[in-house]
A and B are shown apart, each in its own frame.
Chain A
Amino acid sequence: QSALTQPASVSGSPGQSITISCTGTSSDVGGYNYVSWYQQHPGKAPKLMIYEVSNRPSGVSNRFSGSKSGNTASLTISGLQAEDEADYYCSSYTSSTLVVFGGGTKLTVL
């Protein structure tokens, strides 16, 4: 099971919107609505930001939104803030290996 494909890095200025893609296959992202997104600041544990493609856990800002089309899921962050600078990982349920993560995307707020 290969890792899901994410861009290595994205950047944006404060107030702008950015989108991070996460591409898999019909065996994972495309086959199930069980895509999650995690935010990880340096030296910290990951934090769940989105689950089931587009649902936000309690306490997560509504500036974070998720979507999916075919085998590609996306995380959009609107109104970028300095505190959003972090690594972001997608994950998906997969029938073969239970969970597969993306390689991670480093978000830089310019």
Chain B
Amino acid sequence: EVQLVESGGGLVQPGGSLRLSCAASGFTFSSYAMHWVRQAPGKGLEYVSAISSNGGSTYYANSVKGRFTISRDNSKNTLYLQMGSLRAEDMAVYYCAREGGSYYDFDYWGQGTLVTVSS
């Protein structure tokens, strides 16, 4: 059974940093591109970042470029999102998602981890 389990969310002050993790199981992690999608409270889905299966290619939405870093450790079956210079508008539930067999469709999602940015 495919499982994605996020962790690392919590309360952080504006300007602070946080690292999210997404532990994958039930599939060959190293064969799949992975993504982060976030959802602010009461709002819609927002695409954040992507990383290729071998970690060689990454992508960031303009809203997080230069502040967030996506990475993965295929030996640990884990995806990461290092978040820095956090702002109030970064407050959201962060989901990791597996890219399915098609182009940028997300066939499995984690349960999400809440990041709260507040002083």
**Chain A: residues with CB nearer than 8 A to chain B?**
3, 32, 34, 36, 38, 44-48, 51-52, 55, 57, 89, 91, 93, 97-104
Q: Is A32 a contact partner of B109 (Cβ separation < 8 A)?
A: no
Enumerate chain B residues within 8 angstroms of A38, measured Cβ to Cβ: 45, 106
From the candidates B44, B47, B100, B110, name the one contacting A99 in the complex (CB within 8 A).
B47
Closest to A89 in B: B45
A59: min CB distance to chain B, Å: 11
Q: Is B45 a contact partner of A93 (Cβ separation < 8 A)?
A: no
Q: Is A46 a contact partner of B104 (Cβ separation < 8 A)?
A: no
> What's the interface size class on B, roughly?
20 to 34
Given A45-B110, A47-B109, decide whether A97 and B103 contact each other with a Cβ distance below 8 A.
no
Within 8 A of A (CB), among B71-119: 95, 100, 102-107, 109-112
Assembly CA distance A34 to B37 (angstroms): 17
Closest to A6 in B: B44
Answer whether residue B59 sits at the interface, using C-beta atoms and an 8 A cutoff.
Answer: yes
Q: Is B47 a contact partner of A46 (Cβ separation < 8 A)?
A: no
